Amino acid sequence: MRLNKFRRQKFAGPVLVVAALLTIGSAFSIASALPSAQKSEVSAQSTMVDEGKQIFLKGCSSCHGLNAEGGAVAPSLIGVGAAAVDFQVGTGRMPMADMSQQAMRKKPIYDAAQTAALAAYVASLAPGPAAVDPASLTWERDGNVAQGGELFRTNCAMCHNFAAQGGALTNGKYAPSLMGVEPQHIYEAMITGPQSMPKFSDKTITPAEKLSIIKWIKTAQSEPAIGGASLGRVGPVTEGLLVWTLGLGLLIGIAVWLATKAR
């Protein structure tokens, strides 16, 4: 009797159809997903590549070409690997804000998932260095500050300054400051050679030595400025400027006061 009453309701038909479809659909999806977990990982990977391709077409292809083949204003991305994408997009350098001499570090435009998708797409074009997992960089445990300092002074200091504060190159290009740069981005920069920076191969500077360099940079960064204002840690330039203007100005003021007659 109750069933009949239910059947007589107006919405009974549609509700039953929806319920039946849901049951069949979920049963099928469970059944088809169970046998191969591997298959789903591959499809997730290809979804990521597809997703990355969509982001690439929208955000990058106007300069780098529809197939990342490069163009008049931008290099080819075939073979640069996921590491280069993770560095350039993860530090906000790409997409560039304008066509100036150098892409500068800014707030990233794409979030971590979008960056990973872009990296997966670019890595799918041709093999290249893989993005660096921050968890795999055990610089705190395995780095050697003294060795890192020696390596930094020979290989990095000429452009990035002896205290990793950055410095000028030619035609408005510059080596950026390394203060506050994430360890994986430092590592990726060394293996991919972004923009003006050359690559530092794993054979000439081993991965262990690279960890030491990171540890040295992080140690230099956490070095306390006992006297407060570190004046950019660029040596005698700012210090001299301050003394010659503020210091001498003060002395001249005192000399003038000394020589005025009291009334």
- Residues in contact with another protein by CB under 8 A are 147, 150-151, 154-155, 158-159, 167, 169-170, 173, 175, 193, 195-201, 203-206, 209, 224-230, 257-258, 261-263
Sign of CA dihedral 10, 14, 20, 26: negative
Is 3 or 225 the residue whose CB approaches another protein more closely?
225
Q: Are 192 and 84 in contact (CB under 8 A)?
A: yes
For 135, residues 6+ apart whose C-beta sits below 8 A from its C-beta are none
Closest among 137, 118, 243 to 190, alpha carbons compared: 137
CB of 203 to another protein, least distance (A): 3
Q: Are 159 and 175 in contact (CB under 8 A)?
A: yes
Containing H/E element for 83? helix 81-90
Residue 63's Cβ-count burial label (10 Å; 0-12, 13-18, 19+) is middle
Is 49 or 163 the residue whose CB approaches another protein more closely?
163
CB of 46 to another protein, least distance (A): 29
Distance CA 53, CA 124 (A): 10
Is 30 or 258 the residue whose CB approaches another protein more closely?
258
Is 124 or 230 the residue whose CB approaches another protein more closely?
230
Is 49 or 189 the residue whose CB approaches another protein more closely?
189
State both tokens at 147: 């060795």
Is 25 or 240 the residue whose CB approaches another protein more closely?
240
CB of 128 to another protein, least distance (A): 10
CB of 227 to another protein, least distance (A): 6
CB of 150 to another protein, least distance (A): 5
C-alpha to C-alpha distances, 204 to 136, 159, 184, 189, 192, nearest whole angstrom: 20, 18, 19, 15, 14
CB of 262 to another protein, least distance (A): 4
